[in-house]
Amino acid sequence: MTKNRTSLHGQWSSRWAFILAATGSAVGLGNIWKFPYITGENGGGAFVLIYLICIACIGIPIMMAEILIGRRGRRSPINTMRVLSREGHHHPAWQYLGWIGVLAGFLILSYYSVIAGWALAYLFRAVGGVFNGVGAERAGEIFAALIEDPERLLAWHTIFVVMTMIVVARGVQGGLERAVRFLMPSLFLLLALLVGYAMSTGSFSEGIRFLFTPDFSRLTPAAILIAMGHAFFTLSLGMGAIMVYGSYLPDNASVTHTSVVIAAADTLVALLAGMAIFPIVFAHGLEPGAGPGLIFQTLPIAFGNMPGGWLFGTLFFILLVFAAWTSAISLIEPAVAWLVENRGMTRVMAAVWAGVVTWLTGLGTVFSFNLWADEKLFGMTFFDLLDFATANVILPLGGLFIALFAGWTLSRGTTRGELKLGETGYRIWYILVRYVAPLAVSAIFLNVIGILRFG
Secondary structure (DSSP) of 367-432 = HHTTTTTT--BTTB-HHHHHHHHIIIIIHHHHHHHHHHIIIIIS-HHHHHHHH---HHHHHHHHHI
Does residue 298 carry a pLDDT above 60?
yes
Handedness of CA 28, 33, 36, 39 (dihedral sign): negative
For residue 50, what are the contacts with CB-CB under 8 A and spacing of at least 6? 219, 223, 224, 227, 228
Does residue 305 carry a pLDDT above 90?
no
Radius of gyration of the chain (CA): 21
pLDDT the model gives residue 113: 96
Higher-pLDDT residue of 303 and 453 is 303
Q: How far apart are CA 18 and CA 242, in angstroms?
A: 10
pLDDT the model gives residue 2: 47
DSSP result, 308-321: THHHHHHHHHHHHH
Specify whether the CB–CB gap between 250 and 11 falls below 8 A: yes
Domain definitions of the chain by residue range: 15-368+398-435
Q: How confident is the model at residue 251 (pLDDT cuts 50, 70, 90)?
A: confident
Specify whether the CB–CB gap between 131 and 300 falls below 8 A: yes
Beta bridge partners of 380: 377
Does residue 256 carry a pLDDT above 50?
yes
Instruction: Please choose, from the candidates 10, 30, 24, the residue with its C-alpha nearest in 3D space to the C-alpha of residue 233.
Output: 30
The predicted model gives 104-116 an average pLDDT of 93
Q: How confident is the model at residue 25 (pLDDT cuts 50, 70, 90)?
A: confident
Q: How confident is the model at residue 350 (pLDDT cuts 50, 70, 90)?
A: very high
Q: How far apart are CA 117 and CA 187, in angstroms?
A: 18
Q: How far apart are CA 85 and CA 401, in angstroms?
A: 13
Distance of CA 352 to the CA centre of its chain: 23
pLDDT the model gives residue 208: 92
Highest mean pLDDT, choosing among 27-36, 157-166, 325-334: 157-166
Does residue 377 carry a pLDDT above 80?
yes
DSSP result, 5-74: ---TT---SSHHHHHHHHHHHHSSHIIIIIHHHHHHHTTTHHHHHHHHHHIIIIIHHHHHHHHHHHHHH-
Tell me: the pLDDT tens digits for 88-109? Answer: 999 999 999 999 999 999 999 9
Does residue 3 carry a pLDDT above 60?
no
Does residue 375 carry a pLDDT above 70?
yes
Mean pLDDT of the chain: 88
For residue 417, what are the contacts with CB-CB under 8 A and spacing of at least 6? 1
Instruction: Please choose, from the candidates 245, 398, 391, the residue with its C-alpha nearest in 3D space to the C-alpha of residue 332.
Output: 245
Least confident of 58-67, 281-290, 392-401: 281-290
Does residue 202 carry a pLDDT above 50?
yes
Q: How far apart are CA 300 and CA 175, in angstroms?
A: 33
Q: How far apart are CA 294 and CA 74, in angstroms?
A: 41
Q: How confident is the model at residue 453 (pLDDT cuts 50, 70, 90)?
A: low
Instruction: Please choose, from the candidates 451, 444, 331, 454, the residue with its C-alpha nearest in 3D space to the C-alpha of residue 392.
Output: 444
pLDDT the model gives residue 292: 67
Q: Which long-range contacts (CB under 8 A, 24 or more apart) does 382-385 make?
A: 383/111, 383/114
* H-assigned helices in 128-220: 136-147, 150-169, 178-198, 204-212
- Which CATH entry fits the domain spanning 15-368+398-435: 1.20.950, 3.80.10, 1.10.4160, 1.20.58? 1.10.4160
Instruction: Please choose, from the candidates 191, 199, 201, 195, the residue with its C-alpha nearest in 3D space to the C-alpha of residue 305.
Output: 201
The predicted model gives 220-249 an average pLDDT of 84
pLDDT the model gives residue 21: 85
Does residue 1 carry a pLDDT above 50?
no
Tell me: the pLDDT tens digits for 280-291? Answer: 888 878 777 766
SS3 content of the chain, % helix, strand, coil (to 5): 80, 0, 20
pLDDT the model gives residue 448: 65
**pTM of the entire structure?**
0.88
Does residue 308 carry a pLDDT above 70?
yes
